[in-house]
Structure formats: structure tokens, C-alpha cells
Structure 1
Amino acid sequence: MQHLTVDEGGAGQRLDNFLIKVLKGAPKTLVYRIIRSGEVRVNKGRAAADTRLEVGDEVRVPPLRLTEKTENVAPAREFPVLFEDEYLLAINKPAGVAVHGGSGVSHGVIEQLRRARPQAKFLELVHRLDKETSGILLIAKKRGALVALQDYFRHRQAHKTYATLVIGAWPEQKKVIDVALHKYLTAEGERRVKAVAQDDDAGRRSISIVRVVQRYEQYSLLDVTIKTGRTHQIRVHLSHEGHPIVGDDKYGDFALNKQLAKGDARFVRMFLHARYLRLPHPVTGEDLVLEAPIPPDCQALLDTLS
């Protein structure tokens, strides 16, 4: 029998989420079964899965036989740090790494960071980046910071700018894309997004601001600032305008992507990089400005185009 005392890291969490995190390797079905059966007790009483825990609560957990497959254990890994204090961590996420496990990915950034920092009581993703996207990613180190930071994103107090290379000459006068987006699943179960009419009931209004940074013979380097944070927003918006992102394997020019992979730069990723983020600090309220330089592989492609 385990008797767990809730600390600041678990305060405010639902009981089910707390147990899933603490009982590493336990299937979710098992966690919900022991809660429903009353085998889990909070302060000696029965509790529901959605019970919110507070600092000092005692959670009693029955003996469990857990088998954790070693091949699914996330390897410990640190990532380039852009900023860190006792409340939050900002890293420069590489392309090709998921932010968390799931949907066929056994582990991601957050699982690897937790393995690398076993002494950390609390590490949680503030927001998401696509697996193929590189750049600034925020991780909260305290629950209060997580709540405050997510509020900033929700209420558009977080200003995010992405660097991206698109095919063709982006029209100078095209500075705002205000096109609704609809998220759906393909027949194979893959997540996709498409542009729809503004009055489409399934669509959600989505706004991107575009600025041309540099023009090349057949490409345009853009800064895209998003006013809404929809899934695949930049990728679909730019593709919808007839200028897909270089290397995009879902909404891009697949033939051109193959050519670039075999070309001088050997470019094999999507050219989308979260390069700038400005938002208030979750505790001091002061402006926090974060910047991540263009990755070497993206810069090498730009040098080749020059």
C-alpha cells in the first residue's frame, strides 16, 4: 500500500491525472478501475476521478503489479536552453521531435526532460509545436506558472512569430490571411486541416500576419505572426494562398520536396521555425522576449539559394 502526500507539483490536478503521472507504466484503464472501486482513497475517503487535489492531501493507492517495457522508457535528454528560472523553462526544440508521446510516438520532449531531470517536481508543457516544427517551446516548472502562461496564450497576450520559406513570390500587398480552418481525420485516421468559408459551421476563424523578409529566385522567406493558434494554421494558410511551405509533407509540393532532399543542401525537413515569442513573465509580469536563431540546416538552404 502506498501513501502519497500531494506537494505543490500535484496541487490543482485531477486525481486521475495525478495517478497516471505517479504510477508510471500503469494503463489508464487500471487507474480508472481502482478509482471506481474505491481502492484509491483521498484523506481516507472515496474520491472521483475528477477530484481536485490540494497541497497536503494524502492519497492511498493499493498495491499494483506494473510491468514497464524498457523499450518504451524515454531516454534522458536535455535541449538547448533559451531561458530558465525557477518558474519556467524555454527551450529550442529541434525539428523531428514530438513535444509529447502519443499517436504512435512513444515519447517526446516532455518525457525526455522529465527523465533528464528526475529531481524536478513539476514539468509541464505550456503549449504545443508540431513535430516537424522547430523553435521556442515553453515548459512550466510550477503549476501556478503553467496556469498563468496558458492564460496568456488563451487571451492572445503571447505574441508568436515563425520564420518560414515558401515556394514562389509572396505578393507584397498580401499581409493578412483571415481564413477559417476546419480540423478533420482522414480515412486512415490522420489529423488534417483545411480552409473553409467564414460562414462554415465547422470552421474556426484563423488569422495570420505575413511579412516578407527576403526574396529568392523561386522562394520567399517570410515572418508569420499568428493571432490565433489553430492546428497547422500557418501550413494550411500559406498553402491555401498558393505558396506552400518548403518541406511540408502534408500540405506542400511533394515533388519539389524530393528535389530539395537530393540537392546541394540535402534539405529533408519542413522550413517552419518558431523564432520569436514575447509574453509577460508568469510571476513578475515583466515582458519576456525569447528568440531562437534559424537552425543550421535551414540557414544552409538559404545560403544555397543565395
Structure 2
Amino acid sequence: MQQIIGGGGPPASGEVRFLTVGEESAGQRLDNYLLRVLKGVPKTHVYRIIRSGEVRVNKGRAAVDTRVTEGDVVRLPPVRVAAPAPAGTPAAPAREFPVVFEDDHLLAIDKPAGVAVHGGSGVSFGVIEQLRQARPAARLLELVHRLDRETSGILLVAKKRSALTGLQDQFRDRETGKTYLALVSGTWPVSRKVIDQPLHKYLLADGERRVKVVARDDPDGMRAITLVKVRQHWPAAAGRPAFSLLEVTIKTGRTHQIRVHLASQGHPIAGDDKYGDFELNRQLQKAGLKRMFLHAWRLRVTHPALGEALELHSDLPPELAGFVRGLGPSPAQPRA
């Protein structure tokens, strides 16, 4: 078990902590280990304290990709973490989700839209907390990656620490293939196949997170690459605009990357309440589309234990498939 030396619970401002790495965390990258330990601390801050040398492993500096081993002592500088839930807060309800794939190492589920992947930021619980309640005998259930709350589709959960570290390494090293289906307004040009524009995260006055495209020389910009393939086009008809159904593959995993990249090209995702066409969204609500049309459709990874290629698919959920049918037949398939 992980041991906190010098007291447990959220540290007060100015308190240094020392953590002893337990058997269940052995082999994990330092950044992933701290992201799990320091729930409530912004990801950017976790990386900052590692790179600045404020985090020490066995009294020495360590890199973000350093592998921790059982018994390592990790020094943490003063950070503010989220306070624990108040006494009496109800536990997450047990819930299973549709299974796309499962074996002894990993679980792939079909996440519905409207469900957060984990608790935090005003959300009491998410997919992972509900899964743990539904599977109390499971030794380990950890998110491998994340999906926006409004996005449906394939979500990977590790059932073994070795699977977690192996899969997270694949995601970090861009060795996976994550392809989404997105319905956008307008006719997407078939020739526009690559969006390579830096993104920058910022906060609104009320503290809500947003992302925008910035210039290539912006010091706060993070490179983001999105590949786009047109699947279907529908011309404008009966008072509605044209639509395009896209296969969107992300080569980097930036926050809100697909939503911001597509909107920046003048083709926002239908139903997107942050970056979309708000007047069109109101019309779409009346027409039956009551959520953002973004679905994690296909995921390609290498099985962390078997070393074999694994390709997973999730069909469009009924509410999205039904809306597409309502658009009517589309013309001939677009040609590249």
C-alpha cells in the first residue's frame, strides 16, 4: 500500500509530503503516478513541479518518464489538492456500461454521452467510480485515457497495473489510433485532410475552461494535429444547412482538440454548446439532436500483454444514428 509519511489527507499550504511507492504502483511513470496521487491538482502544475526539480525520487531529480519502483520515496513540494468529500456524502451508484471488449488485462466500454469519466470539477462521480462500485472484487480499475463528458464511445479501463502503464505509454508516444465520428455544419472540403494548429487553454471570468487556436509562435501554444476524412455529405435542404459526417483521427490528445479544430475551419460540430453555432443548435434541438454529435468510434492499440494489434469499434448510439437517418439519403460518396 502507498504510505504517506508525516500525515495523510490533503496537505495544508506550505507542507512538504513524502510518499513511499507501493507494490501496486511499481513500474508506473512518475507523471502518471503523481496525476493519480494528486487528484485535484492541475495537470500542468504536476508537470511543472517535476520538470523544475521540486519532485525528488530517493532524494534525486527525476524526469516525467522515470519509472517508480516499490519502496521509492517521492518528495512532493507544497501543493493544494482537492478536499475530501464531506462525511455523509453518498457513494457513487454501482453501474455497469456496455462492454466492447474485456479480458484479464483491460476493459473497453461504450461510454454514453452526458456521463463524466471521473468525479471532480463539480461532478460527484463518473464512470470509473460507478464501475468500482459495480465491481467491488476488482483489484484494480483505472482509466487509461479520457473522453469529454459530452462525448460518447470507446473508453479504456485497465484491470492490471502493467496494462495501465503499457497503454498509457502507447497514448503518450502516439502509437494508438483514435478515430471519432463528428457531424459538422457545412460542406467540408474533401481536400482538407490535415489541421495542424497550436491550441491554448484559458479560463473564462467564471472559471470555466476554454481552448482556442493560437499562432504557431505563441509561447503558450501546444501543437495539435487532427486528420479529417469526409464520410458523407448532405446538401442544404428544407431550411437547414448542409452537413458533413467526418472521420476524425487525432494524432495529439489536447483538451477539446477536435471541437476547436473543426470550429476554427468554419465547420463546428452540430450540438456543441461551447464552440458551436448556437442558433443552429437551437434548431437542431427542435429537430431531435439534443447532444453534441461527437462519438469515439474506433480505437486501435497494441494489447499490453499479448503484443497483438487490437481494433475496437463502437456503433453510433441510437440518438445519433437516428438523426443521421433523418437527414435523408446523401449523394454519392465524396472522393479524395
Match of 2:70 among 19, 41, 54: 54
Identify if the C-alpha distance between structure 1 residues 232 and 17 changes in structure 2 by more than 3 Å, giving closer, same or farther: closer
SS at match of 1:166: strand
Name the stretch that deviates more: 6-15 or 290-299: 6-15
Identify if the C-alpha distance between structure 1 residues 82 and 18 changes in structure 2 by more than 3 Å, giving closer, same or farther: closer
Identify if the C-alpha distance between structure 1 residues 262 and 233 changes in structure 2 by more than 3 Å, giving closer, same or farther: same
Structure 2, unaligned stretches of length 5 or more? 4-20, 42-67, 72-84, 236-241, 329-336
User: Is this contact kept in 1: 2:27–2:162, CA < 8 A?
Assistant: no
Match of 1:87 among 105, 112, 125: 105
Identify if the C-alpha distance between structure 1 residues 115 and 215 changes in structure 2 by more than 3 Å, giving closer, same or farther: same
- For residues 43-98 of structure 1, the C-alpha deviation after alignment (integer angstroms, 9 at most, x for no partner) is xxxxxxxxx6739xxxxxxxxxx963243x10000000000111100001000000
**Is 1:242 the equivalent of 2:259?**
no
C-alpha distance in 2, partners of 1:140/1:151?
13
Match of 2:312 among 279, 290, 305: 290
Alignment-derived partner of residue 40 in structure 1? none
1:144-293 → structure 2 map (5 Å cutoff): 144-217=162-235, 218-263=242-287, 266-293=288-315
Q: Which amino acid in 2 is paired with 1:171?
A: P
SS at match of 2:199: strand
TM-score by length of 2: 0.73
RMSD, aligned α-carbons? 2.8
Q: Which amino acid in 2 is paired with 1:68?
A: A
Q: Which amino acid in 1 is paired with 2:259?
A: R
Q: CA deviation at 1:257?
A: 0.9
User: Is this contact kept in 2: 1:8–1:143, CA < 8 A?
Assistant: no
Q: CA deviation at 1:12?
A: 5.7
- For residues 133-167 of structure 1, the C-alpha deviation after alignment (integer angstroms, 9 at most, x for no partner) is 00010000111110000000011111010000000
Question: What is the count of residue pairs matched by the alignment?
Answer: 265
Alignment-derived partner of residue 69 in structure 1? 88
Identify if the C-alpha distance between structure 1 residues 280 and 190 changes in structure 2 by more than 3 Å, giving closer, same or farther: same
C-alpha distance in 2, partners of 1:273/1:83?
17
Alignment-derived partner of residue 118 in structure 2? 100
SS at match of 1:156: coil
**Identity rate, percent:** 62
C-alpha distance in 2, partners of 1:298/1:17?
34
- For residues 201-246 of structure 1, the C-alpha deviation after alignment (integer angstroms, 9 at most, x for no partner) is 1111111111110111210000001111110000000000000000
User: Is this contact kept in 2: 1:8–1:142, CA < 8 A?
Assistant: no
Q: CA deviation at 1:183?
A: 0.8
Q: CA deviation at 1:20?
A: 9.0
Alignment-derived partner of residue 110 in structure 1? 128
Q: CA deviation at 1:198?
A: 1.0
User: Is this contact kept in 2: 1:209–1:224, CA < 8 A?
Assistant: yes
- For residues 87-122 of structure 1, the C-alpha deviation after alignment (integer angstroms, 9 at most, x for no partner) is 100001000000000000000000000000000111
Q: Which amino acid in 2 is paired with 1:54?
A: E
User: Is this contact kept in 1: 2:27–2:165, CA < 8 A?
Assistant: no
Identify if the C-alpha distance between structure 1 residues 240 and 18 changes in structure 2 by more than 3 Å, giving closer, same or farther: closer
Structure 1, unaligned stretches of length 5 or more? 22-26, 29-51, 56-65
Identify if the C-alpha distance between structure 1 residues 148 and 16 changes in structure 2 by more than 3 Å, giving closer, same or farther: closer
Alignment-derived partner of residue 75 in structure 2? none
